[in-house]
Amino acid sequence: MIVLIFVYIGGNKMRDIFQRDNYYPQTKERIGANLDLEILFNDQVKSDVFSQRIVQVIDGAKQSIKIAMFALTSPAIISALDRAEGRGVVIELVFDESNRERYYASLINVFLEGQAVSGGVDDEVYNVGYYMHNKFVLIDNGLADARLIAGTLNWTDWQEQYDPSYLIITSRPEILEVYNAEWERLWSGISGTNKLRQSNYQPWAAEFVYNNATLELWWGPGFKENSFHQRLLDLIAQAENNISVAIWQLTDYDLARALLAKAIQGVKISIITDDFNFWSSNSEFSYLLKQKELLGLDNMEIITDSWRSVDLDKIYQVEGEDFFNSYFHRHELLVDNKILALGTANWSYRGFWGNDESNLVTDDLNVIQAWQESWNYHYQNLQAQELYFEKNDQVLTLVNGFDKLIGKNLLAICEVSNEAVKPLILGQATLNDLNRDVEMIGSCPHLIQVFVYDDDNKLVGAGRVN
C-alpha cells in the first residue's frame, strides 16, 4: 500500500562557543560506537550512482518506506517502489503541494488511481510560498537493517545526471529516530513555521558524540538564534585559516557580510556557486565582487559554474530547452578543513526561516575527505588562470598570459539570470600571434564573462570585465 501526504506550508571542540539561550540540542548523547555515515556525489555527468544505490536499498525493504521528497519522477526509483508495494511493503510519501501536478500526478495515477490524502494544513495560514524542501527516505525504521538516505538530491533523472548533488546513507538507529520524528510531524500535517508552535520541536534536533566524530542534526525552519542560520554564522566566525563553500544560492545578508569580514581578516575564502542565481536582483555575489575589487581581497575567490553550463550546452541538446543549464545543487560550508556543514537549505530567507529543511554538521574525517575530493573536482574544472582584459568600445583585449594561450579559443558571454535563456554570446575568436582581441556584438548589463579553452573544451583561462 502506498499513501501520499501533500504538505502546503508557507563542551566539545564544535560547541565551545555556544552560550546563547535556547541554542542547544534537543537531544545530546554520547554513543559508544563509531559514526557510520557514507556520503556519495554525482560529480560525473550522466552518473547513475544515486539511483543505483536508492533502488538497491528499496529492493531490500521488508516492512516500510517513509519518504519526504520535494520532487520525484525517476522511472528506476518509481519501479523499485512498485516492486516494494508488490511485496506488501507499506509506502508513505510526504511532498510539497506545489509539486502535485509537476512531479507527482503520474505517481498518484500509478499507485493510487488519482486518490490523495490531505495533510490538513490551513491554506489560509500557509499560502506564503514556503516549501516542504526535505529529501530523505527511511527504510524499515525500527528493524535491524534499517537505512536512512538523505541529501540534496531530488529523485529525478535530470538532477542525478546533470546537477551536482550529494547523498548520505546511514544505519545508525539514533539518527534514524530523529529523522523519523520529523517525518511523523510532516505526516500529521505539522510543517513549516507551524512546527515552531510545537513544544516537541527544536531546530537543533540532536548532537551525537561518537568515538570517531561528532554529528549535529538540524531542522528548518529556525527561529532567531535557534537556527541553522546562526550555526553557520558561528562556524564562519571561528574560522582561522580557510573557508570553502559550495552553494546554489546566496541571498542572505548576514552570511555574505560574515564571509567578507573573514576575508578582510586574511582568511582564505573559496566559493563555487551556480550561475543561475549569481546575477539575480537579491543575490549577494554582486556585493561581494565589488568589495573584493575595492579592498583588493585576492584571498577571496568566487567561481561560478558558467563554464560548465556553456560546455554542457555544447554537448547535450535537450529537447524543448533553449539552453541547457544544470544546477550546482549544493549547500555546504567547510571551515579550516575540520568542520563541515551541509544540507538542503539554500542560504536564503526561505531556506532558513520558512521551509522544512534537513541539515547536519560534522567533523567526521572520512566525510570531510570525500567532500573535499568532490569540491576539488569541480574547482579544478571551473578554476583557471585568471585573465585580465581591457575594454575599448566593443573590443576586448587580453592583457596578460597571452604567450601561453596562443592557438586557444576565446568566448565572451553575458550571463543571464534565467535558467531557460541562453547566455548572450558577445564574441568569439582564436588567439594567435596577430590577434589578442575579440570584437563584441551587443551590450551586457552585468559583468562580461570571458573563457579561453582548448580544442577539447578544457578551460584554461577565465576573466570578468566590467
Question: Same domain, yes or no, for 367 and 413?
Answer: no
Q: Are 400 and 387 in contact (CB under 8 A)?
A: yes
Helices and strands, number each (H, E), in the chain: 13, 25
Q: 46-49 long-range CB contacts below 8 Å, 24 or more apart?
A: 46/161, 46/162, 47/160, 47/161, 48/76, 48/160, 48/161
Which of 349, 365, 382 terminates a domain? The answer is 382
Question: Same domain, yes or no, for 195 and 87?
Answer: yes
- pLDDT tens digits in sequence order for the chain, 466 residues long: 555 555 544 434 444 433 445 578 999 999 999 999 999 999 998 899 999 999 999 999 999 999 999 989 899 999 999 999 999 999 988 888 777 666 666 666 555 332 222 333 333 333 446 889 999 999 999 999 999 999 999 999 989 999 999 999 999 999 999 999 999 999 888 888 989 999 899 999 999 999 999 999 999 999 988 999 999 999 999 999 999 999 999 999 999 999 999 999 999 999 999 887 887 889 999 899 999 989 999 999 998 887 777 666 555 555 445 556 788 999 999 999 999 999 999 999 999 999 999 999 999 999 999 999 999 999 988 877 677 788 888 888 888 777 778 888 888 887 655 544 566 788 888 887 667 778 887 777 767 878 888 887 778 877 777 6
190 by DSSP, 3-state: which?
A: coil
Question: Same domain, yes or no, for 404 and 368?
Answer: no
Pairing of strands 27-30, 2-7: unpaired
Instruction: Kindly state the helix (H) or strand (E) to which residue 381 belongs, with its residue range.
Output: helix 365-382
What's 67's domain CATH number?
3.30.870.10
Helical pair 365-382 and 306-315, crossing angle rounded to 10 deg: 70
Which of 321, 353, 382 terminates a domain? The answer is 382
What's 459's domain CATH number?
2.60.40
Neighbours of 98 (CB within 10 A): 17
Question: Same domain, yes or no, for 240 and 372?
Answer: yes
Spatial separation of the C-alpha atoms in residues 151 and 39, rounded to whole Å: 9
Which of 361, 382, 403 terminates a domain? The answer is 382
Spatial separation of the C-alpha atoms in residues 79 and 420, rounded to whole Å: 30
Residues 6+ apart with CB under 8 A from 434: none
For the entire predicted model, the pTM comes to 0.84
Q: Provide the domain limits for residue 433.
A: 385-465
What is the count of structural domains for the chain?
Answer: 2
Spatial separation of the C-alpha atoms in residues 356 and 131, rounded to whole Å: 6
Question: Same domain, yes or no, for 446 and 347?
Answer: no
Spatial separation of the C-alpha atoms in residues 164 and 269, rounded to whole Å: 21
